[in-house]
Chain A
Amino acid sequence: MSRRKVSIRLDRIIVHIVLVIITLAFLFPLLWMFSTSIKTQAEYFTYPPVWIPAHPTLEHYRYIVSTTGLNAVRNSLIVASVNVALVMAVSIPAAYAIARFRIGGHDFSFWVLSQRMLAPIAVILPLFLLFSQLKLVDTHPALILGYTGFNVAFAVWLLIGFFEEFPIEIEDAGLVDGCSRWGVLFRITLPIVTPGLVVTALFCFVFAWNEFLFALILTRQAAATIPVQLAAFQAPTKILWGEMSAFATVSILPPLIFAFLIQRYLVRGLAVGGIR
């Protein structure tokens, strides 16, 4: 195939132009949100729409910081990072055991995977009843625990792939040296598959950071995460587009930065991430 000869024929140029247009079309809503976040109210409540604000302003960002913004960011950070730590702690050994010994056969790994397919609404109804009785509603632990089901399924399946790529011979050498399985895992395997661990952790973080349904039901005000506070802007009585856009812009920064950091693994993570 002519894949290696990068021909600069006309049709290749057209393909590139089409790709640029498509990419811009997909980025447009995000760019529009950012542009709205620095417009004054007069500029977004106008017709025809203003594309680029004449007098960019940061007032909406200031508003967010002075109201619910900081608390929501703090809650989201706590919930997402503790959840990731918990998820990784249980998923790493499980994924390792599946990759190395096919433990529990197909049934076990598929059972883990099937957790990802469950309808969230079906899980949250009983979780809410149980957490209310445990007085956990509107606390961090409720969300941290609530998100583990989905994230564990995702993490285990992504990690299995990374462990399977790891050469088994290196581990055998460790076993002969008298290491236990746990010892081999921690001292030999994990340091080498670190990139895979980081990618998995970041994807789990993004899921917890973005999740809405569980957060809506399990939090009130004290533990409300970013998506819950953002959703409050959709109340019909007030239309605070600038403030809403500013908050949304801040909230998508971590996921977007992660996307660029793990570019090489993005396709792989998303292909598994689709399994939910």
Chain B
Amino acid sequence: MNVDPPSEELTVRRSVLSVPSALQQTGALWRWLEQKSLVMPVTVLLFGVTIFPLIYSLAVSLHIYDLRHEILWKFAGLENYRIALFEDARFWGSLLTTLRIGVAAVTIEFLLGLGIALLLYGPIIGRRFFTTLLALPVMVSPVVSALIFRMMLHEKYGVINGTINMIITQFGLGKEFAILADQRWAIWAVVLTDVWQWTPLMIMILLAGLQSMPLEPLEAARVDGAGRWQTFWYVILPMLRLAIFAALLLRFIDVLKIFDLPFILTGGGPGRATETISIYIYLSGFRYLRMGYATAMSYLLLVLTVVLSTIFIRNVVQRRSA
């Protein structure tokens, strides 16, 4: 880079800049084109891989599109949506299961995450070492975590389920149980695995929130003789509000879409005890081959996530970037 530009060039540029009207407008047009060219590739790509497919999918959802009976593009209007909303108990059941997993998992992740983030916030020797190790579950594929927990929760040889059964028989606490095969308990296996994998993300977001807090209010609270609990409740928590809101909403939006974890861990079973909405849509589309119906349900799921995402963007991202 030339720090001291030759004076000749500088005068040329000056003269260009001082010319009003036509020439300046071409300059503005050129700059405009240049700026647009920077975002062109991303726009085209996203149009190709998500926008166009979603429009296509909206069209499919208005038709009977059955690959098994080879009935394609038979117009049905809103029939698919009507069936999902008013006749299909399985649709509502899977939605309810998803929400139950979401509420349970996100609540536990939040409480654990906040506690651990607070522990890490103090004067900790080797904080980066701890945070790196704690972040590892997030880096692992959900397929891997589901397979590990499937192993550990095996009714007989699993280290977790097996140990619990050992305690149960040792102290005569009742019948041995198999968490993955139990209608009532299987959902907690999904929650447990999700908690293991995603609590670290909570820790990271909340720790980042804690570290960006100004220190003065904490100082003031200490000077005023506030106890630990008071400082936490009246100083830290209010300042952390945005980070908490962001973390909770993000995780909840994520869990609404959960597929791989329950799919591998329990396959949606036993029965339909852990069948999430994404699993049901997957089965409708790729096992029962009713693409029209599957796309209609996926649009209902989209509406739900878009509403929540808009709340997130309005309240978190906009406020943060403002």
Contact = CB atoms under 8 A, between A and B. Distances in A.
A117 B56 CA distance: 19
B93 interface: no
A181 B318 CA distance: 27
Contact of B128 (A145, A263, A275): A263
Q: How large is the interface on B (under 10, 10 to 19, 20 to 34, 35 or more residues)?
A: 35 or more
A121 interface: yes
Q: How large is the interface on A (under 10, 10 to 19, 20 to 34, 35 or more residues)?
A: 35 or more
Interface stretch (B75-83, B100-108, B115-123, B182-190): B115-123
Contact of A248 (B48, B148, B208): B148
A143 to B, nearest CB: 11
Interface string A251-276: 11001101110011011101101111
A161 B156 CA distance: 50
A259 B135 contact: yes
Given A152-B45, A174-B1, A251-B144, A119 B278 contact: yes
Interface string A50-64: 000000000000000
Contacts of B259: 120-121, 212-213
B183 to A, nearest CB: 18
Interface in B26-68: 31, 34-39, 41-42, 45-46, 48-50, 53-54, 56-57, 60
Contacts of A15: 119, 122, 124
B151 A36 contact: yes
B130 A23 contact: yes
A130 B55 CA distance: 12
Nearest to B246: A274
Interface in A220-257: 226-227, 230-231, 233-234, 241, 244-245, 248, 251-252, 255-256
A175 to B, nearest CB: 10
A213 B261 CA distance: 10
B317 interface: yes
B148 A122 contact: no
A130 B215 CA distance: 54
A209 interface: yes
Contacts of A96: 38
A129 B41 contact: no
B148 A32 contact: yes
A2 B45 CA distance: 52
A239 to B, nearest CB: 8
A275 B201 CA distance: 11
A242 B277 CA distance: 32
Nearest to A212: B260
Contacts of A110: 313, 317-318
A271 B204 contact: yes
Given A15-B124, A33-B148, A122-B298, A26 B134 contact: yes
Interface of B: 1-3, 5, 9, 13, 31, 34-39, 41-42, 45-46, 48-50, 53-54, 56-57, 60, 116, 119-120, 122-125, 128, 130-145, 147-152, 156-159, 162-163, 166, 196, 199-201, 204-205, 207-208, 215, 218-219, 222, 247, 250-251, 253-254, 256-257, 259-260, 264, 267, 278, 281-282, 285-286, 291, 294-295, 298-299, 301-302, 305-306, 308-309, 312-313, 317-318, 321
